[in-house]
Amino acid sequence: MKNFDIQTPGSTIGEALQTKIDLKTKPPGALGKLELLASQIGTIQQTLTPVLNDPTVVVFAGDHGLVQEGITPYPQEVTFQMVMNFLNGGAAINVFAKQNGLEVKVVDAGVNHGFGQTANLLNYKVNKGTRNCLKEAAMTSAELTESIEKGATIVNDLYKSGCNCVAFGEMGIGNTSSASLLMHYFTGIDLATCTGRGTGLDDAGLSKKISILKTVAARHGNLQDWEKIMSAFSGYEIAMMTGAMLQAAENRMVILLDGFIASTAYLAAFKLHPEIKNYIIACHQSDEKGHQLLLEYLNLSPLLNLGMRLGEGTGAAVAFPLVKAAVSFLNEMASFESAGVSNKE
């Protein structure tokens, strides 16, 4: 698997950034989290005048073999149908991205459908859906490596085209189950606590889902190795997102983190390279059970909590104006000296 070289951004610029922020025409700290964001983005880019170039949401789609066990009320066909909806501009992520100036790229990471030469779809398919992890590992070691490296390639292509700010979304019927298992194994948090309603399970459906996931965990046992955990439970879209995040951090890009499933991909990336934390902006707290605990585990403070639980990168797209606001005030807001306003004594 690719060896990522992720560096912690130099800290020496931090003092100059803080001075610039403090000398704006406002009381110190008056812009709250926007000040922290401005400092983080300036540190990532190692400049007092950061810019967000060609911000892009990459939506990874993949299917999951565990759907055969009835863990979701939606049929697997919804994955490819939603991919077509993304490509036709009709999904929530399309609406929010258009509104807030983000481009959308859609990736077939492992959908159980033959798209052929579908216009604007990035074909990085590893396989037509993962295997049923109740019976065997979801993917082979080779498929995991392929997924990670394809994610890295996608981000490198974006980076070379001029993008320095990227968000990641996902689509895959059954992928909250995969995410719950990954969260449980990587954090040690109780599996039932990690498991939510996904696409809207009722109480009986949720109980069945938890029971199935506990059976899956019992079958695989006490895994500790990163590669074995990912191979056992990940989806192709989650693994590809993990590789994409790692490459974005290597490229010193600003990474906009979406909801529960994207956060489990980040969790996997963080377990390999903790330095990635410097490049992450947690955009929102999903209403999916487990996400709040996962954010706390990762020591991330989300910008928004709107009760959203859609995925697709929608939380990142909705939060993006706040990220832009942080950069805008740092670059455009007058200082006490330039405005001729008296500072505090």
Q: What is the pLDDT of residues 204-244, one digit of tens each?
A: 999 999 999 999 999 999 999 999 999 999 999 999 999 99
Query: Is residue 136 annotated as a catalytic residue, yes or no?
Result: no
Examine residue 105 and state whether it is found in any structural domain, yes or no.
yes
Q: What is the CATH number of the domain that holds 198?
A: 3.40.50.10210
- Residue 246 tokens, joined: 């790692």
Q: Are residues 166 and 248 in the same domain?
A: yes
Please indicate, yes or no, if residue 7 is contained in any of the structural domains. no
Conformational region of residue 121, where left means phi above 0, alpha means psi within -120 to 50, and beta covers everything else? beta
The type of residue at 261 is: I
Does 185 reside within a domain?
yes
pLDDT tens by residue, 20-39 = 999 999 999 999 999 999 99
Separation of alpha carbons 297 and 278, rounded Å: 16
Per DSSP, 254 falls in state E
pLDDT at 344 > cutoff 80:
no
Same domain for 197 and 246?
A: yes
**Average pLDDT in the chain:** 97
pLDDT tens digits along 144-184: 999 999 999 999 999 999 999 999 999 999 999 999 999 99
Domain for residue 344, yes or no?
no
Residue in the block written with tokens 């954090």:
187
Which one of the listed residues 275, 312, 332, 345 is annotated catalytic?
Answer: 312
CA distance 338 to 61: 49
Report pLDDT digits (tens) over 87-136.
999 999 999 999 999 999 999 999 999 999 999 999 999 999 999 999 99
Say yes or no: 73 and 130 in one domain. Answer: yes
Same domain, 114 and 189: yes
191-210 burial, b at 16+ Cβ within 10 Å, e below that, comes to bbebbbbbbebeeebbeebb
Identify the residue whose tokens are 């805008």.
Answer: 328
Mean pLDDT to the nearest integer, 329-337: 95
Same-domain pairing of 164 and 70: yes
Range of the domain at 246: 56-322
Residue 78's pLDDT is 97
DSSP 52-101: --S-EEEEEEE--GGGGG--SSS-THHHHHHHHHHHTT-SHHHHHHHHHT
CATH code for position 333: 1.10.1610.10
Instruction: Give residue 224's pLDDT.
Output: 97
Tell me, yes or no, whether 121 and 42 share the same domain. no
What integer pLDDT is reported at residue 116 of this predicted model? 92
pLDDT in tens, 41-81: 999 999 999 999 999 999 999 999 999 999 999 999 999 99
The verdict on 172 and 273 lying in the same domain is: yes
Question: What pLDDT does 199 receive?
Answer: 84
Same domain, 273 and 125: yes
99 plus 199 within the same structural domain = yes
- Which residues 6+ apart lie within 8 Å of 266 measured at CB? 242, 245, 257, 276, 280, 298
Q: Do 94 and 35 share a structural domain?
A: no
pLDDT band at residue 200 using 50, 70 and 90 as cut-offs: confident
